[in-house]
Structure 1
Amino acid sequence: MGSQGGAIVRKPRFLCLHGFRTSGEIMKTQLHKWPQSVLDRLDLVFLDAPFPCQGKSDVDGIFDPPYYEWFQFNKEFTEYENFENCLEYLEDRMIKLGPFDGLIGFSQGAILSGGLPGLQATGKALQRVAKIKFLIIIGGAKFKSTSVAENAYSSSLQTLSLHFLGETDFLKPYGTELIKSFKNPVVVNHPKGHTVPRLDEKSLEKVTGFIDTIEKHLVMEEDKKSSE
Structure 2
Amino acid sequence: MKGGDGAKMMRILCLHGFRTSGSFLRKQISKWDPSIFAHFDMDFTEYTNLEECIAYLCEYITSKGPFDGLLGFSQGATLSALLLGYQAQGKILKEHPPLKLFVSISGSKFREPSICEVAYKDPIRVKSVHFIGDKDWLKLPSEELATAFVNPLVIRHPQGHTVPRLDEEAVCKLSNWAMEIILSQRSTNAAPVDTVDETATNKEEEAEPKEESECEIAAAAEGNGIVLQRREAKAVEAVNA
- TM-score under structure 1 normalisation? 0.79
Q: Is the alpha carbon distance of 1:179 and 1:225 closer, same or farther for their aligned partners in structure 2, counting shifts above 3 Å?
A: farther
Q: In structure 2, what is the equivalent of residue 93 of structure 1?
A: 60
The answer to whether the 8 A contact 1:91-1:128 is kept is: no
2:76 aligned counterpart, secondary structure = helix
The answer to whether the 8 A contact 2:37-2:178 is kept is: no
In 2, Cα distance between the equivalents of 1:137 and 1:46?
15
- TM-score under structure 2 normalisation? 0.75
* 1:141 partnered with 2:108: yes
Number of residue pairs matched?
A: 191
1:112 aligned counterpart, secondary structure = helix
Higher-helix-fraction structure: 2
CA drift of 1:220 comes to 2.2
Report the RMSD for the aligned CA atoms in angstroms: 1.6
Q: Is the alpha carbon distance of 1:33 and 1:159 closer, same or farther for their aligned partners in structure 2, counting shifts above 3 Å?
A: same
* 1:30 partnered with 2:28: yes
Matched-pair identity in %: 40
Q: Is the alpha carbon distance of 1:214 and 1:146 closer, same or farther for their aligned partners in structure 2, counting shifts above 3 Å?
A: same
Alignment of 1:1-228 (within 5 A): 9-51=7-49, 71=50, 82=51, 85-224=52-191, 228=195
The answer to whether the 8 A contact 1:137-1:163 is kept is: yes
CA drift of 1:113 comes to 1.0
The answer to whether the 8 A contact 2:87-2:93 is kept is: yes
The one-letter amino acid of 1:112's match is L
2:191 aligned counterpart, secondary structure = helix
The one-letter amino acid of 2:103's match is I
Q: Is the alpha carbon distance of 1:86 and 1:128 closer, same or farther for their aligned partners in structure 2, counting shifts above 3 Å?
A: farther
- Give deviations 1:105-148, integer Å, cap 9, x for gaps: 00000111122211111122222222111000000011101111
Q: Is the alpha carbon distance of 1:20 and 1:225 closer, same or farther for their aligned partners in structure 2, counting shifts above 3 Å?
A: farther
CA drift of 1:212 comes to 1.1
In 2, Cα distance between the equivalents of 1:201 and 1:170?
25
The one-letter amino acid of 1:202's match is E
The answer to whether the 8 A contact 1:87-1:126 is kept is: no
In 2, Cα distance between the equivalents of 1:227 and 1:158?
30
Q: Which has the larger radius of gyration?
A: 2
2:17 aligned counterpart, secondary structure = coil
